[in-house]
Amino acid sequence: MKNLKAIIFDAYGTLFDVNSAAEKCKSKIGDKWENFANYWRTTQLEYTWLRSMMSRHKNFWQITEDSLDKSMKKFKIQNNMRSELLDLYKILSPYPEVKETLKQLKNKNYKIAILSNGTPSLLNELVEKNDMKNLFDDIFSIEEVGIFKPSSKVYEIPVIKYKIDKGEIAFLSSNTWDISGGGNFGYNCFWVNRNNDVFDNLDYSPKYELKNLNELLDII
């Protein structure tokens, strides 16, 4: 693609496996671990949207805790697992192809950044623990504007920082609502469809649909 100056990645579900915390505890949680992980994630996202709509902001870590508490009650998981699950969430595993793809992109003349709902401290710890700090030029958090994606205020953050046009940004996310938000804002959006999902009807179709980040290297 021509005229691209920055490649921006969502973090949770795109670079890092949001189910990996529960998966590491599956011997304790049992067969319901995956349903529990999906419920935790869905509740977490719902809380970000609802708090944005109500103008009752809490940061992403507080929402992660609140959504975990509800999910543990729903799936009758013992309270003594709370700390372990939260600690594991801070060091979520990256998807297998992520590091190598980022290393190859780093050799090209683009700004490489994360744009995430996560807090700055949470995101920094996540990339440091996974030895990925040197692969990003910037890590942008919604805490700069105090509202969660898909608010246009969030997608504007890297535009202001890099002093570039919306159309000079490639944005990658596995979350369809995030792609719709970024696309309607004006990004060139690449949907990372890891789970063979169906895209939302929200007035935007992604420029490209990828199975994983490796496929980005054939396009950029």
Is 178 an annotated catalytic residue?
Answer: no
> What are 67-100's pLDDT values in tens digits?
999 999 999 999 999 999 999 999 999 999 999 9
- What ranges do the domains of the chain cover? 6-17+92-218, 20-89
User: What is the predicted pLDDT for the residue at 161?
Assistant: 98
CA dihedral 183, 10, 197, 35 (to 10 degrees): -140
In sequence order, the 6+-apart residues with CB closer than 8 A to the CB of 2 are none
Q: What is the CATH number of domain 6-17+92-218?
A: 3.40.50.1000
Architecture of domain 20-89: Orthogonal Bundle (1.10)
Please give the structure tokens belonging to residue 133.
């700090």
pLDDT band at 109 (very low <50, low <70, confident <90, very high): confident
Q: Which long-range contacts (CB under 8 A, 24 or more apart) does 209-217 make?
A: 210/172, 212/95, 212/97, 213/95, 213/97, 213/98, 213/101, 213/102, 213/172, 214/97, 214/100, 214/101, 216/101, 216/105, 216/172, 216/190, 217/101, 217/104, 217/105
Which residue in the list 10, 138, 165, 178 is annotated as catalytic? 10
Q: In this model, does residue 175 exceed pLDDT 90? A: yes
Which percentage of the chain shows pLDDT scores above 70? Answer: 100
3-class DSSP state of 140: strand
